[in-house]
Amino acid sequence: MSRPPVFDEGFSRQFEELLRWRRDVRRFKRDPVPDALIETLLAQTSLSPSVGHAQPWRWIPVAEPAQRAAVQESFSRCNADALASYEGERAALYARLKLEGLREAPVQFAVFCDHGTARGHGLGRRTMPEMLDYSVVAAITQFWLSARIHGLGVGWVSILDPAEIAKVLGTLPAWKLVAYLCVGWPEEDCDEPELVRAGWERG
Amino acid sequence: MSRPPVFDEGFSRQFEELLRWRRDVRRFKRDPVPDALIETLLAQTSLSPSVGHAQPWRWIPVAEPAQRAAVQESFSRCNADALASYEGERAALYARLKLEGLREAPVQFAVFCDHGTARGHGLGRRTMPEMLDYSVVAAITQFWLSARIHGLGVGWVSILDPAEIAKVLGTLPAWKLVAYLCVGWPEEDCDEPELVRAGWERG
């Protein structure tokens, strides 16, 4: 064990800037992202907290054109259903929102929680079994911040049918989809959420 | 909108140190934590990502002795059940683990997800309703890192009966318990998870 680090006022201020400028990004440039950077970010996920130290996250890259097309189709279907659930002005506003960057983002991951893992021996999950999924969310949150440090944007797409995504990727039945992530260089940086700028809450 | 920040190599290295030295803390000093620091950390949670910008997190301080005693009782009961589910060497190892700092931690929060919130208008939750809970987990993850920057430890206790905690605190039926957090100054700093040191995975 090395010496505990001390984080000074300057680091603390910069960390708050990081939180302030992390965004859910839906507008990406198509420029490639170096593999080594993605590998560094993924390696860091081993430092995320997890219940019983189970480390249940499974990051599956989605790169094949056929797989990406199937994800886009799932989004289109689910988004049409979502649009149909709104009425009037809200439906019009919803229809104008850009909610994903599935066509542009150069790097994409489906992130699963492995409910079949033996790691952790069930510790901490008896009364709150959802802790295993929460561990994956914590890892994604840390990945999101790490990516932003390097100028990379992350967009979390939830308007998808998890069963369709699992089928497209041929994942094990015990794996639960927690997130579908688009990763790439954002078209712009911003310190205000896109939904706030679009007036979703006001509307 | 101000100018986007640039995070240099030094910040990136320090951020990795932060990830490396964040721990699930179960051994706290009893020294008080300044209210202003806790308020700063809670204020920062507004910068966390949330589905549809719903910001569904509800942080309920648990400070009254009767409430804390009830939480400790819930833990004792649930932990006895958990212990009974293991056998032999694993049961002996489990019995030796310290899994919470409920008696010592000066600051404690029950963190709920408000399933009754109108904010976000359901955006992004139709196919994956669990996104609302995940938003609370993201906020907790960021709080955890922010706390560690200031030397504060956080311990996430999940060996509790969520229904009992909700009853003790008298929360609304639409609020779901996501986490019970112990917060305070750690007895020691460490870059290795306590469960790893205790040999839980090896055992």
Look at B5 and A17 and tell me if their CB atoms are within 8 Å.
yes
Residue B131 with chain A: CB contacts under 8 Å: 158
- DSSP state, residue A163: H
Question: Do residues B94 and B83 make contact, with C-beta atoms less than 8 angstroms apart?
Answer: yes
The answer, for A93 touching chain B at a CB cutoff of 8 Å, is no
Look at B127 and A158 and tell me if their CB atoms are within 8 Å.
yes
Question: Do residues A51 and A135 make contact, with C-beta atoms less than 8 angstroms apart?
Answer: yes
Question: So what's the pLDDT on residue A202?
Answer: 81
Among A194, A119, A116, A117, residue whose Cα is nearest residue A153: A194
Look at B134 and A178 and tell me if their CB atoms are within 8 Å.
yes
Look at B82 and A126 and tell me if their CB atoms are within 8 Å.
yes
Question: So what's the pLDDT on residue B2?
Answer: 77
Three-point CA angle A120, A121, A122, nearest 5°: 90
Look at B145 and A15 and tell me if their CB atoms are within 8 Å.
yes
- What residues have CB less than 8 Å from B123, skipping those under 6 apart? A82, A94, A97, A99, A195, A200, B51, B52, B54
Which CA distances in Å does A26 have to A63, A101, A109, A173, B137? 18, 5, 15, 30, 22
The answer, for B44 touching chain A at a CB cutoff of 8 Å, is yes
Within 10 A of A44 (CB to CB), how many other CB atoms are there?
19
- What sign for the dihedral angle of Cα B185, B12, B43, B55? negative
Chain B (131-150) residues lying within 8 Å, Cβ to Cβ, of chain A: 131, 133-134, 137-138, 140-142, 144-146, 148-150
At residue B157, φ and ψ (nearest 5 deg) are -100, 120
Residue B49 with chain A: CB contacts under 8 Å: 22, 24, 141, 144, 156
Among A47, A114, A57, residue whose Cα is nearest residue B24: A47
Going by pLDDT thresholds of 50, 70 and 90, the confidence category of residue A2 is confident
Within 10 A of A39 (CB to CB), how many other CB atoms are there?
10
Which CA distances in Å does A70 have to A65, A80, A108, A173? 9, 15, 13, 19
Question: So what's the pLDDT on residue B202?
Answer: 81
Going by pLDDT thresholds of 50, 70 and 90, the confidence category of residue A23 is very high
pLDDT tens profile A48-75: 999 999 999 999 999 999 999 999 999 9
Question: So what's the pLDDT on residue A203?
Answer: 56
Question: So what's the pLDDT on residue B116?
Answer: 97
Residue whose structure tokens are 């997890």: A50
Interface test with B, best of A3, A15, A125, A164 (most B CBs within 10 A): A15
pLDDT 10s digit of each residue in chain B, 203 long?
A: 578 999 999 999 999 999 999 999 999 999 999 999 999 999 999 999 999 999 999 999 999 999 999 999 999 999 999 999 999 999 999 999 999 999 999 999 999 999 999 999 999 999 999 999 999 999 999 999 999 999 999 999 999 999 999 999 999 999 999 999 999 999 999 999 999 999 998 85
Question: So what's the pLDDT on residue B1?
Answer: 56
Question: Do residues B110 and B165 make contact, with C-beta atoms less than 8 angstroms apart?
Answer: yes
